[in-house]
C-alpha cells in the first residue's frame, strides 16, 4: 500500500469518528473530506477497493449501532 492510502485511511477513520460524534457537517469534517479527495486521486485500483470496503464496514457498523462504533 502507498503512503497516500495510509493517509486516506487515517482520515477516513477520523471522518467516521466525526460522524459518530455528530460533527459530520462541521468545517473540520469538510477539511478532512478535502484532504481525502486529494489522496483519493493517488490511490491504485486495489487501494480504492480496500478503501471502499473499509468505508462500507465503518458506516454499516455505525448504522447497526445507532451511531456508536464499537
CB atoms within 10 A of CB 21: 12
List Cβ neighbours of 35 (8 Å cut-off, separation of 6 or more): 7, 11
| Cα–Cα distance list, 13 to 29, 50, 54, 60, 63 (Å) | 11, 13, 9, 13, 15
DSSP 2: -
pLDDT band at 70 (very low <50, low <70, confident <90, very high): very low
pLDDT single digits (tens) 1-22: 999 999 999 999 999 999 989 9
Domain ranges of the chain: 3-64
pLDDT of residue 62: 72
pLDDT of residue 60: 85
Amino acid at each position: 500500500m502507498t503512503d497516500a492510502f495510509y493517509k486516506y485511511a487515517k482520515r477516513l477513520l477520523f471522518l467516521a469518528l466525526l460522524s459518530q460524534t455528530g460533527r459530520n457537517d462541521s468545517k473540520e469534517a469538510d477539511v478532512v473530506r478535502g484532504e481525502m479527495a486529494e489522496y483519493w486521486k493517488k490511490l491504485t485500483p486495489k487501494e480504492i477497493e480496500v478503501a471502499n470496503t473499509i468505508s462500507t464496514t465503518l458506516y454499516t457498523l455505525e448504522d447497526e449501532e445507532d451511531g456508536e462504533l464499537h
